[in-house]
Amino acid sequence: MMKPHIPELTATDVEILKQEVIYQGHMKLLKYELKYRLFAGGWSPVVIRELFQSRHAVGVLLFDPLRDEIVLIEEFRLGALAQKSPWILELVAGIIEPNEAVTEVAKRESQEEAGCDVLDLIPMVEYWTSPGISTGRFSLFCGRIDSSKAGGIFGLSHEHEDIRAHVFPKDFVYNALKTGEINNAATIIAVQWLQLHEFEIKQKWK
């Protein structure tokens, strides 16, 4: 069996020559001039890169193991404007506020965006969303819910949220993943995780 790859280079092998703020709005855009060590030895030439400074986010796949149902939300996303409809199916998710625990965010956003009380949380994975251009990281959870009364329109008006929560049979969601109707990274990762761990999740929550 192959041993896991452990990177030999670290953050100390990057030299920041210049850093400036290009834009400060909903997100901060930074410009860097830097060098980094090469695998073959020596240093790279000076490289210019732009980086979005974004905060850590939390996503929750809301799952009712007794009814075999999943709650997903539908929301307008500007980045998806190029496709037929920029309203996409996705997980409940939100940004971590200062001094807020990831589990608190998961429970808060489940209420705000889908009207669901989370009865239990199981960590899935944590990953960098797009490390070539952003500092953002995502923590994913599977949240146990009672989906019998789920569904409806939610969101905070002062955040300009207009969110519709859908209750789907689990197999419908699995098929939507297969057909490409579910097409954003966090939701794809979470649904695939549930497919791999469904038996043990149901054993834990039965």
Helix (H, G, I), strand (E, B) or coil at 190: helix
Taking alpha carbons only, the member of 119, 111, 128, 102 closest to residue 186 is 128
**For the chain, first and last CA: distance in Å?**
35
Catalytic residues: 159
pLDDT at 141: 98
Secondary-structure percent of the chain, ordered helix, strand, coil, rounded to 5: 25, 40, 35
**What are the tens digits of pLDDT across the range 84-133?**
889 999 999 999 988 899 999 999 999 999 999 999 999 999 999 999 99
The whole-number average pLDDT for the span 37-64 is 95
Phi, psi of 51 (to 5 degrees): -140, 125
pLDDT at 27: 83
Taking alpha carbons only, the member of 117, 147, 126 closest to residue 190 is 126
pTM of the shown model: 0.89
The CA distance from 124 to 82, in Å, is 30
pLDDT at 118: 97
pLDDT at 80: 86
**What are the tens digits of pLDDT across the range 137-153?**
999 999 999 999 999 99
